[in-house]
Amino acid sequence: AGIGKCVAMELARRNARTILACRSRERGQAAVQEIRAATGNPAVLLRLLDTGSLASVRAFAAAVLREEPRLDVLVNNAGITGLPFAITSEGLEQTFATNYLGPFLLTNLLLG
């Protein structure tokens, strides 16, 4: 939703192979279908990713590196705010993990 979906829509409109990295399979698949219908670009894909989980970030990055011949653009857009204090299963504060550590790790893993 929001800025991320608009960016994905514009990339797909420019005929880019576009991977939507989403926490929710249902919402992500709905966005994929909407973007494909609006742009006519069948190369819009959904991959599950929770940037609040470093294990999820590592698995996503490994899959991208294994499956994609190249990566030209990475848009780190996900973020949360206003949640009550919580600790992830990996022992990290949830907001910090989701908004900073996950995207930082993802970017560095994808640098190759």
Q: What is the DSSP string of 23-68?
A: S-HHHHHHHHHHHHHHH--S-EEEEE--TT-HHHHHHHHHHHHHH-
Task: Report the chain's mean pLDDT, rounded to a whole number.
Answer: 96
Is the pLDDT at 86 greater than 90, yes or no? Answer: yes
**What confidence tens digit (pLDDT) does each residue in 20-37 have?**
999 999 999 999 999 999
In the chain, % of residues over pLDDT 70? 100
Under DSSP, the state recorded for 15 is T
pLDDT (mean) for 79-98: 94
Q: Both tokens of residue 30?
A: 């709905």
pLDDT (mean) for 67-94: 94
pTM of the model: 0.93
Given this model, what pLDDT does residue 79 score? 85
**What confidence tens digit (pLDDT) does each residue in 56-76 have?**
999 999 999 999 999 999 999
Domain boundaries, the chain: 1-48, 52-111
pLDDT (mean) for 42-58: 98
